[in-house]
A and B are shown apart, each in its own frame.
Chain A
Amino acid sequence: MEAEVVNPEPVTEPIPAAKPPLSGKKWFYTGGVLLSLIVLGGGIWIIRWQQRRKTPVMEIQNPPTGPTTAPTDGDRILAGFNPGKATWYPVPKIITGVVIFRPEEDDSQEFSPLVTQEAVFSEVAGFAAGERLIDVSIPVQAPGMSGMVVRILKSADGKYYYVRQAGDEWWESLDAKLLPEVGVTEQKIEGVLSPEEMMVAGMTFRIGYMSYDKFSELKNPIKIVETDYGMLYQTRTKILTDSDVFGRKIYLRLKDNYVVPYSLKTSLFDDDNIPQINWNNNAEEDKGFINGMFSSCGSSALMGSVPVVQDSSGLLTGKIQTGKAKTGEPVYQIKDPGNELVKSIYEQVYQVGRDQMITLTEFAGQENHFLWQDPLGDWQIWVNQEFGPNAECAKPVIYLYPTEDTVVNVRVEANISDSKPVYKTDGWTVTAGQSGKLKADGIVYDYLFWDGQGHGEYPDLRDRGVAVKQANIETTLMKNLMALGLNDRETADFLEFWLPKMPVTPYVRLTWLGTAEMDRLAPLIVSPVPDTKIRIFLEFEGLARPKYLKPQKLTAVKRVGFTLVEWGGLLISVR
């Protein structure tokens, strides 16, 4: 049924002189609705607020186990402690008998990368009231890290307090490891403070990647400036042989002889890493630049270092201003294809891992890098990500197996860009045990690691070796390593590192460099001289199809007496 529509009588809308905004009724309803909303909202807020107050704080730390009752945080914090000035020991005293960590057999603990049972304690300073400051060096089972250092205080009455610093990245893991009776202090101890940022002499330094190196391990440290926290130093490692390109690192020296890496904050980028540069050609502002010239397995071979050209270098001849930072400082580029720096960026950065490439001349004409003079006077090299490198890997490691505990010194004839433990001016000096465990500065290592460029000639053996099917890589490598005389552990380490880096091509060329070639490429000077030396190095390359190669005869030498074993590898990029 259709509804009848009745046209209302046309009504001429009276134009009131002034329409009352709301009738009394409307006021009443509107006011009522608003009031109800306010009351309702207020009520909900009060209920929620009370609920929130009642919500217990979630305890997410590991509950302490064992017979000891956990002290509250209040009990743990060292109150009213004013240590005054520390007297720093010229040489740290290694001490034993410090029990601050839970025993290893405590099964209640979750997995922790901290190997606290192998921690080494060194007393480094004393205070007037009898307190002692102790450095605790703890091995770490985590990628890219072998050890760390924390500090504890021993009070005059023999109680231990963990010194918790701002930005303590291991606190959660450490807290789970510390015995409940170990206290905590957040007391700032002058001499071992490392702030996130320091402003000094018009420059800002920001704390860098974490490493726990000692000052004595730095290679030719040069003073930069004295700060409230200690002296800042820089080290410079040549990146390119016979050129003025250096990897520069900055360190703050602490009183207990450890150093903390810092970086010089630049005005070129904001915190979102978008460059603040006005380019002369009005190019897009947000193209990416990297402050690293060489890569190794996805990270800079000179990890934490900044590639710089020193101001006096002839490499800078012919630089052209290409833009201006928002702070007004000019940025430059070298466009001459004959310039050694441009050639280096082309060969050692751009060419790495590329299938199709432009020529050097074309490359030089592109915006592949810029140079900027930093407040330390050096010219920083920033490479356009578009022309950046793909990963290339080279990781030689050295195992030492003496017949008894022996102090061994190892030197490599190479420009070392990265090493663990830190490679000093006189090489590595470690105490090696029969099991192969190496101890340096209280930290235990499985092997010595180095990365860099050998001083000798790299042999061209590309026509030798074997081209194996993708599916047979692992079995072939295992057979090869056995034939070359590596033991199970060394083989496992090698495969763990290199297998994931094999190219995913139908075939892969495997070419081995042996002890003789390695001795020519990067001679090792070892004291005492090993009785047996096995040095192997794998060069590999992805192939689309099988290729005939001159076979290599792989043989092992018998391990007699003090044995040194070294393995490494190099991926030849498809070019």
Chain B
Amino acid sequence: MPWDKLIGIKLVVLIWSWYFQPTAIIVPHQNTVRNIRQMFFNRTAKARPLTRTVILLSPDHFSPNQESIFFSDRNWTLSNGLLEYADRTGKNITSDFSRSNRLLTIDHGIYNILPEIKTYFPRARIVPLLVGERVSRKKLDALADRLSANCRWDCLVIASVDFSHYLPHALADVHDAFSLKALAAPDPDLIMASEADSPNSLYVTRKFSDLRKADNFLLFAHTNSAEIIGQRDTESTSHIMGWYRRGRRNNKFDTFTFLMTKNISGARDKPGPGERFFYGTEYVNENLTETFNLIRGLEIIPGGKASKVTREANKLTVNLGKDLAVAGIDTGEGVRIIFLPLGEISGQTYLQRGLEKTEYFDRLGIDQTGEIFIHYQM
């Protein structure tokens, strides 16, 4: 091929890949999925022509001061080389943040990600930030503005965030469906209601992508620690890996998530299922008093002491008693329903695990995974 054509094609490819390159990514810091994370980094690096700066956002796991954003201006000696601080970008972004090399050095949200940054972006320098849990919205917006002004085509924003915590795999999936929807939604505020260890880091990433007009969210992997070890009943941590880039926003994550119980009122701040049980779903009814039939093919009716599940051709009726919670994801093509056995009939209620769950499901005629799929007749 004549070299002029070759140059032309390469130029077009370069401009194309530069224009559509990932501007921000979300990665988990839990090392259970390190291999998948490495694959994701590899794909990201290939999709970016040049990365000179990385802004790493992480939850602040250890500081008692959760109102602040901390940064570190140190260089990192890693097992695979030296990773330097991006001094100029750092100064522009962190001008009035608190510096704490101490805090960032001990935070696994930071140090677990560094070897991959060094491996896959060997020319990059870094600005790591810890974003506290109670940082004001004003500060978060200001940070997104600064990132937009200082993190350009050769700069990548990485949010180091783990998603659902301490839930059985099936319920974690429901919460993650909401998180995925929020990550892809036009409104960045939605992400603040998701179940993650740093909604604030996700919000800044999402807002930055918005400002850079690169708010098309693409999913690389969705994993769960319980699934990986093959124990679905155990408490799990879930992970979402994905990119933000230019392009038309996709709506494949537009689902509707719900969670209903009959007798769990007031449990948000109490032991038992706990706060995490509820948040991260769109429709929550903690004390079912009327029939729920917002979803095609599913009817949930307040029941007696014990629940009853009836399945007809295209319809599932749940007489919801005090022994079950029902969660689900309506994808538009069908609904995935998850039954969660609860441990007490009156007073405090808790989420059962293990064998008890199997007994419940046998009695109700439900598959032992506790899940039922209804596919809509289109």
Contacts and interface: CB of A to CB of B under 8 A. Distances in A.
Most A C-beta atoms less than 10 A away, residue of B70, B76, B271: B271
A475 B111 contact: no
B2 to A, nearest CB: 9
B142 A58 contact: yes
Interface stretch (B38-46, B98-106, B222-230): B98-106
A22 B70 CA distance: 57
B68 A172 contact: yes
Nearest to B136: A110
A361 interface: no
A272 interface: yes
Contact of A470 (B4, B114, B115, B343): B343
B96 interface: yes
A469 interface: yes
A173 interface: yes
A119 to B, nearest CB: 16
Contacts of A286: 79
A205 to B, nearest CB: 12
B120 interface: no
Interface residues of B, number: 56
A106 interface: no
B78 A172 contact: no
Contacts of B111: 271-273
A276 B101 CA distance: 22
Interface stretch (A78-86, A161-169, A250-258, A412-420): A161-169
Contact of B348 (A143, A166, A168, A474): A474
Nearest to B63: A169
A166 B349 CA distance: 49
Nearest to B68: A172
Interface in B318-365: 343-351, 353, 356
B347 A472 contact: yes
B79 to A, nearest CB: 4
Q: Which of B63, B65, B108, B351 has the most CB of A within 10 A?
A: B65
A475 B64 contact: no
A113 B344 contact: no
A113 B79 contact: no
B65 A471 contact: no
B95 A57 contact: yes
Contacts of B136: 110
B67 A112 contact: yes
B70 A60 contact: no
A327 interface: no
B274 to A, nearest CB: 8
Contacts of A208: 102
B77 interface: yes
B253 interface: no
A264 interface: no
A524 interface: no
Interface stretch (A96-104, A498-506, A514-522): A498-506
A52 interface: yes
A78 B69 CA distance: 25
B79 A167 contact: no
Nearest to A141: B64
B51 interface: no
B68 A502 contact: no
Contacts of B105: 206, 271
Interface in B122-138: 134, 136, 138
A143 to B, nearest CB: 6
Contacts of B20: none
Interface in B83-111: 95-103, 105, 108, 111
A171 B63 CA distance: 13
A547 B70 CA distance: 51
A225 to B, nearest CB: 21
A61 interface: yes
B60 to A, nearest CB: 10
B52 interface: no
A499 B350 CA distance: 13
Interface string A159-187: 00000001111111100000000000000
Contact of A167 (B102, B146, B350): B102
Nearest to A288: B31
A473 interface: yes
Interface in B194-241: none
B149 interface: yes
B348 A473 contact: yes
A471 B348 contact: yes
Nearest to A173: B67
Given A111-B134, A274-B115, A504-B353, A469 B98 contact: no
A241 interface: no
Interface in A46-104: 48, 52, 55, 57-61
Interface string A177-213: 0000000000000000000100000000011101000
21 contacts: A26-B4, A59-B142, A60-B143, A110-B136, A113-B64, A142-B64, A167-B101, A169-B65, A169-B68, A170-B65, A171-B68, A171-B98, A172-B65, A270-B78, A271-B78, A272-B115, A470-B343, A470-B350, A472-B348, A499-B271, A500-B271
Interface of A: 22, 26, 30, 33, 37, 48, 52, 55, 57-61, 110-113, 140, 142-145, 166-173, 196, 206-208, 210, 270-274, 276, 286, 469-475, 499-500, 502, 504, 506
Given A142-B66, A470-B350, 16 more contacts: A33-B8, A110-B67, A112-B67, A113-B64, A169-B68, A169-B70, A172-B97, A173-B68, A206-B105, A271-B111, A272-B112, A471-B343, A471-B345, A471-B347, A472-B347, A504-B353
Q: Which 10 A-B pairs have the closest CB atoms?
A: A471-B344, A142-B64, A58-B142, A145-B64, A471-B348, A60-B142, A274-B79, A271-B76, A172-B68, A270-B79
